[in-house]
């Protein structure tokens, strides 16, 4: 590795510190850099945080270099030798690049570079949502949990006569995501362009919520009080488990994927018997004829959006672009049907810039994404 400047050297030293190969002299150099100012110490603490490293490792593990289709490899002229690099070496390389990029990003924040080639108007989503309270108040939520708590408390106190069992609605816009913990301890990750309706306090013999869009549920166990998710004309009955529901109104199916535990599915009208799911299975419920079929899936692929990666397996370009349009909030147009039906298999970091997304499709998928205002035009390369 050629060390061009200080941030390259520091990134290497931090990585060696993480993997435990740093020498005494190198440790002294790193400690000296940490003592230079408060910001350096904050950067060091963030980059050596164990929880953060676990998340980054999980993202790396989901990024499978074997996923691209053979035709894409052939198009690029990629040989098998490129895929035989040891996983450990690759992981360390990714870590070095990541640390270096973080340090460089801070430098560019202080001294921004002008680049007229960077597309404007389309960017990755962020943590944001709207909370429509039962008293009619609407609160804008962000990643600042303390701010959220204060605003919600103030808004709820406006009309204290509204019962806690009344419905409130959490709404993520296109380009938004949000995580919330319900009154019973259930955790819900809400994907972009989704809405979750639920009471402030669960009463009675059931814990019932309603979903439109996509969400990942980690349900608090309570066998005496089942957790029920209603999506369109489907109900999911849960006693304590983890599962993903994808129920966007503009899609013909509702896809329920079980990660852990056991759940049952049934139509809202109750005309058919319930369908039981086991971990690793996905129920595909047709909203038109209310029939369901079960398939085996890789749950990490299905739920990758929650951990910072979009993983696509055997999906058409139209399906993929439709998913990305919710997160990056853009309109799109395919110039030919063949491109829309092209199959793509691969991984895209969820928080990548839109330019990086375009490069990935250009290099691996043979597809060109061109921005015209807020619309993206997709053509064959």
Sorted by where each starts, the structural domains of the chain and their CATH numbers stand as 6-110 (no CATH), 126-301 (2.60.120.1440), 309-380 (3.55.50.30)
Q: Which residues pair with 234 in a beta bridge?
A: 231, 267
Identify the weakest region by mean pLDDT among 83-97, 109-123, 292-306: 83-97
Mean predicted confidence (pLDDT) in 350-357: 90
Identify the weakest region by mean pLDDT among 38-42, 68-72, 189-193, 320-324: 68-72
The rounded distance, in Å, linking the Cα atoms of 124 and 194 is: 16
229, pLDDT greater than 70:
yes
The rounded distance, in Å, linking the Cα atoms of 349 and 304 is: 10
What mean pLDDT is reported for the chain?
A: 79
16, pLDDT greater than 90:
no
The number of C-alpha atoms within 13 Å of 175 and in the hemisphere containing its C-beta is 11
The rounded distance, in Å, linking the Cα atoms of 256 and 277 is: 9
Write down the H helix ranges in the chain: 6-19, 24-35, 38-47, 50-62, 70-76, 87-110, 145-156, 299-302, 317-328, 337-340, 354-360
Q: What percent of the chain has pLDDT over 90?
A: 43
110, pLDDT greater than 70:
no
Mean predicted confidence (pLDDT) in 333-352: 89
Identify the weakest region by mean pLDDT among 44-53, 97-106, 267-276, 299-308: 97-106
């Amino acid at each position: 590795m050629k060390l061009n400047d200080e941030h390259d050297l520091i990134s290497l030293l931090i990585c060696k510190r993480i993997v435990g190969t740093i020498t005494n002299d190198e440790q002294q150099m790193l400690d000296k850099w940490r003592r230079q100012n408060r910001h350096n110490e904050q950067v060091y603490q963030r980059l050596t945080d164990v929880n953060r490293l676990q998340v980054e490792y999980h993202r790396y593990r989901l990024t499978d270099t074997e996923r691209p289709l053979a035709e894409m490899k052939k198009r690029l002229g990629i040989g098998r030798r490129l895929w035989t690099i040891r996983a450990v070496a690759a992981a360390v390389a990714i870590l070095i690049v990541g640390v270096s990029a973080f340090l460089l990003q801070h430098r560019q924040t202080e001294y921004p570079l002008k680049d007229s080639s960077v597309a404007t108007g389309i960017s990755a989503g962020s943590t944001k949502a709207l909370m429509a309270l039962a008293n009619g108040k609407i609160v804008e939520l962000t990643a600042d949990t303390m701010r959220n708590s204060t605003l919600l408390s103030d808004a709820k106190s406006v009309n204290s006569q509204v019962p806690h069992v009344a419905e409130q609605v959490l709404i993520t816009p296109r380009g938004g995501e949000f995580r919330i913990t319900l009154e019973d301890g259930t955790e819900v990750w809400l994907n972009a362009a989704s809405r979750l309706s639920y009471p402030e306090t669960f009463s009675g013999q059931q814990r019932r919520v309603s979903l439109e869009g996509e969400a990942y549920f980690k349900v608090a166990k309570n066998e005496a009080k089942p957790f029920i998710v209603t999506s369109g004309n489907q109900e999911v009955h849960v006693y304590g488990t983890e599962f993903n529901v994808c129920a966007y109104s503009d899609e013909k199916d509702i896809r329920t994927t079980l990660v852990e535990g056991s759940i049952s599915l049934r139509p809202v009208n109750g005309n058919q018997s319930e369908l039981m799911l086991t971990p690793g299975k996905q129920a595909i419920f047709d909203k038109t004829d209310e029939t369901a079929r079960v398939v085996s899936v890789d749950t990490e692929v299905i739920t990758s959006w929650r951990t910072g990666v979009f993983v696509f397996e055997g999906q058409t370009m139209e399906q993929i672009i439709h998913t990305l349009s919710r997160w990056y909030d853009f309109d799109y147009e395919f110039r030919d049907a063949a491109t829309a039906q092209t199959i793509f298999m691969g991984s895209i970091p969820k928080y990548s810039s839109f330019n990086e997304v375009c490069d990935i499709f250009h290099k691996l998928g043979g597809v060109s994404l061109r921005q015209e205002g807020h619309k993206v035009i997709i053509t064959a390369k």
